[in-house]
Chain A
Amino acid sequence: MIRYVPKAKYSYSAGQAQSVFLNGLKEKKILGTVCNKCKKVYVPPKMYCEECFKPTDGWVELKDEGIVHTAIASFVSWTRDRLEEPIISGTIKLYGSERDYVFPGMFHRICTTYDKVRDMSIIGAKVKAVWNEKRVGSIEDIQCFKEV
C-alpha cells in the first residue's frame, strides 16, 4: 500500500454578486438580486437569471428573518468523528409562500435544541439571524438563525 498526502490550496473568487452579498453581511444586510422579467429573487444573489437566461436587473434587501424549511442535528463531523453536542443546521426560506417550489433560501446553522429538531417543531418556525459582533464579509458573520 502506498500512502500519499495531497496539499491543494485555493483562493476562490466570490465574483461580483457574491462579493456584494458578503459585503452586505458586514452591514447586517441580506442582499439578493431580482429578475424583472420573471420576478424571481436570488439569495444568494446571481449575476444571471437562470430561468430567463439574462442578467438580473437589480438588488433587493431582504429581512434577516425567515421560516425554517428543514432542520437536522449532526452527531458526526465532516471527517465522521463522533460529536458530543450536535451541530444543528438547515435551510431557511427567506421569502415566499408555503407552496413555492423555489424561493430565496439560505443554508446555515440554527440555534435551537435537539428536542425541537427531533419533534420537528422547529420546521416551519420563524427565525431571525443572530449577527456576530465582529463581521468580516463572510457567511460566518451570521452566527446562526434563532427562533423568534
Chain B
Amino acid sequence: MWSKKGRIEDLIFWKGNMEVEAYEYDEGNAGKKFIEGIKEGKFYGIKCSSGKVYVPPRDYCPEDMTEGNYVELTEPYLDLLTEVREDSYGNKLEKPIKVGIIRFLNAKGGIIVRVEGDAKEGDKVKVIKWEWPLVVGKA
C-alpha cells in the first residue's frame, strides 16, 4: 500500500530546535577547590588511601568511595596534542588552534588546555595564563 503514496517527494521534514535558555552547572566542593587553585596558580589533585592521586580532584576517591586529601601537583607535561581547524559548527577557523591534555607524573587523569608555541607531546610545560581555559607553552 505504500508504493503509491509514499514517494520521496511527498515526505515531510519538520525543522525543530531543542532549546533551553541555559544550563547552570554547579562545580561542587572538589570542583570549587580545583577552580580556586587555578586562580591562585596551583593544581590540586586528590590523594586516596591507596596512594593514588587523581586530577581534577573529586569529593570521593572513585576506587573505594572514601574521602581523600587534597595535594598540590607540580611539573605538568604535555601528553597529547592536536590541532583544531574547524569550530563546532563546521566553519573553518582563520587560524588553527592547538589543544592538548596535560598530565602529572604519578597522578591519574589530566586537564584539557590550549597550547601555544612549539611544545611537543612529552615536553614539560608551564602555564602561560592561569585562567580558564588554561594556556600552556614549553617550559
**Which residues of A does B touch, CB under 8 Å?**
1-16, 18-20, 22-23, 47, 55-59, 79, 137-138
Contact = CB atoms under 8 A, between A and B. Distances in A.
A16 B24 contact: no
Contacts, number: 76
A11 B23 CA distance: 23
Nearest to B18: A8
A97 to B, nearest CB: 27
Contacts of B11: 13-16, 19
A58 B14 contact: no
B24 A3 contact: yes
Contacts of B105: none
A8 B17 contact: yes
Interface string B4-33: 011000111111111111111111000000
B1 interface: yes
Given A3-B24, A5-B23, A137-B12, 4 more contacts: A6-B18, A12-B15, A14-B13, A16-B6
Nearest to A24: B5
Contact of B1 (A15, A23, A58): A58
B25 A14 contact: no
A59 B59 CA distance: 60
B65 to A, nearest CB: 25
B23 A3 contact: yes
A12 B24 contact: no
- Across the A-B interface, give the 9 residue pairs with the lowest CB-CB distance, nearest first: A16-B6, A14-B12, A8-B18, A19-B12, A12-B14, A2-B25, A19-B11, A10-B16, A5-B22
